[in-house]
Amino acid sequence: MSENDVSQSSFVTAPLGRVFAKTALPIIFVMGMNGTLAIVDAVFLGIYAGPGAVAAVTLIFPFVMVMNALAALVGSGMSSVLARHLGAGNAMQARAVFAGAHGFSLMMAAGLWGLFALFGAPLTIRLADGDAALAGAGYQYLAVLVAGLPVMFLLAVNGDALRNEGRAAMMAGLSLLVSIGNMGLNYILIAQMDMGVVGSALATLAAQVSGLFLVVVYRHRDGAILRFGRHMMRELGRGWRDIAMLGVPQCLGMLGIALGAGAVIAALQITLKGAGDYAMTITAFGIVTRITSFVFLPVLGLAQAFQSLAGHNYGAGNAGRVRQSLKLAMLVALAYCVLVELLLAGFARVLGSAFVDDGQVQGEIARILPMVMTAFFTVGPMMMVATYFQAIGNAGRAALLGLAKPYLFALPATFLLPLWLGESGIWLARPVADISLVLLTGLVVMRWASGFNMVGRPG
């Protein structure tokens, strides 16, 4: 039996709970390490470079989310197609999609270089509300990350490919090595060399380069299912339409997060106009964002594992196993989200003290964090439903459920709720959006179930 056959049979025939855990745990570990890096980075910046450095990186967060969103567009779109091809045993089509994802990634990186050259400086000034020092630090941080976009995109594509090849444990091992190196570089460049936000960005880029190098070494081995080779040059333009169509929901969802962060900054500028605590609130918002992003990463890991599992079984025509995997993913996600919400509500101030010594900023974190996490218990299950539709190739419903929360609910609520509730309305916009998505998801699923069976085919 070939390695390709082994990777397919583990998703399609192995005990469901075991294969889900075997796939999900390494992915969660990888994302946990990435989240830990973000936390360590914020701690180093807060302690050694000061709250101003944390504020500068926070202002750039919308730009970083745009880059992550475009990486997710290629990675998640390719992943949906790749899993179904591997599940059906179509190795040639899988390799073509894999090559096309690399071409798509390089094209997008080149486009973003041009956009940054034209609009990077004025946008950072605007987000800094005219503060030249804050904008300058943010621009320097962003410039390093933009320079490394090809590495970031190609690393994301190969990470998603390894997951669908059944190599999640390998992906976790590579991530561990890279993350340890990144943390060490963070300490050297930020704490020892006093390079501030530039040191943080350089450490990230160096870690990504190291990770991609290790992937290249693996892809040239005989045992790799998807190998690098000259054939890829002929197929760099393959599958772009399918990748884009299926990747757009997750991409636009992450862009919605970026817009949401920008909307919060804009709403704070309006609500706190003339107040002296704007910079303090922005710093607290940045730390809250790091915390909430960190606890969200395991949910994303569960969704990615579920997507691979459901996609392989959908490709193999195993309807019952698809249904069972959806139920399992929703229950695990619900249990995790409930636990996290309770813990963050009880230890918000303690978490704040780990980032900054400023008592006022700690107080802001303790005030803001419980509000934004009020309905976090809904986030995991709703994400599994949206991921299910993406896994079976139902791009329309995946897009609706993935985009409704940031665009239809969260953005309007961020500006409307403060009209009645003041600054607290900015933070309550997120739980309002979470609950609204639950209602919409219920309507979508009921309407879909009346005409479709559980593998997305007319029933």
pLDDT by residue (tens digit) across 112-155?
Answer: 999 998 988 888 887 777 778 888 888 898 999 999 999 999 98
Closest CA to 208 of 179, 251, 165: 179
Lowest-pLDDT choice from 44-58, 140-154, 206-220, 410-424: 44-58
CB atoms within 10 A of CB 206: 17
Angle in degrees, CA 156, 157, 159, rounded to 5: 65
Show the tokens assigned to 132: 């030249």
- pLDDT above 70 for 90: yes
Can you tell me which residue has the tokens 């392989």?
A: 312
- pLDDT above 50 for 459: no
Kindly give the residue spans of alpha helices, DSSP state H, lying in 220-239: 231-234
| Phi/psi of residue 458, nearest 5 degrees | -55, 130
Q: Give the best-scoring range by mean pLDDT among 161-175, 222-236, 272-286, 381-395.
A: 381-395
**3-class secondary-structure state, position 452:** strand
- Residue 121, amino acid: A
- pLDDT above 70 for 451: no
Closest CA to 84 of 271, 275, 242, 281: 242
Distance set, CA 130 to CA 121, 122, 136, 271 (Å): 12, 10, 11, 17
Round to whole Å and give the CA distance between 121 and 131.
13
Round to whole Å and give the CA distance between 161 and 81.
11
Q: Give the best-scoring range by mean pLDDT among 69-78, 130-139, 196-205, 426-435.
A: 426-435
Round to whole Å and give the CA distance between 24 and 329.
10
Distance set, CA 211 to CA 66, 166, 216, 217 (Å): 21, 18, 9, 10
- pLDDT above 90 for 425: yes
- pLDDT above 60 for 457: no
Distance set, CA 442 to CA 27, 250, 270, 372, 459 (Å): 28, 20, 35, 23, 19
Closest CA to 144 of 205, 97, 195: 205
Can you tell me which residue has the tokens 């970083």?
A: 64
Contact, 37 vs 350, CB < 8 A?
A: no
The residue-averaged pLDDT of 373-380 equals 95
Contact, 287 vs 41, CB < 8 A?
A: no
Contact, 365 vs 284, CB < 8 A?
A: yes
Q: What is the DSSP string of 313-331?
A: HHHTT-HHHHHHHHHHHHH
Percent above pLDDT 90 for the chain: 24
Instruction: Return the pLDDT at 232.
Output: 77
| Annotated domain spans of the chain | 16-238, 246-449
Instruction: Return the pLDDT at 165.
Output: 80
Q: What is the pTM of this model?
A: 0.70
Instruction: Return the pLDDT at 6.
Output: 38
- pLDDT above 50 for 13: yes
- pLDDT above 90 for 434: yes
Contact, 82 vs 89, CB < 8 A?
A: no
- Provide the terminal-to-terminal Cα distance of the chain, rounded to the nearest Å: 35
**3-class secondary-structure state, position 228:** coil
Show the tokens assigned to 399: 């897009």
* Maximal CA-CA distance, the chain: 70
- pLDDT above 90 for 327: yes
Mean pLDDT computed over every residue of the chain: 84
The torsion defined by the Cα of 3, 24, 313 and 160, in degrees rounded to 10, comes to -60
- pLDDT above 80 for 166: no
- pLDDT above 90 for 76: no
Which residue pairs, CB below 8 angstroms and at least 24 apart, start in 50-53?
Answer: 51/279, 51/280, 51/283, 51/356, 51/358, 51/361, 52/133, 52/134, 52/137, 52/279, 53/137, 53/196, 53/197
Show the tokens assigned to 439: 């209602």
The torsion defined by the Cα of 370, 373, 377 and 382, in degrees rounded to 10, comes to 170
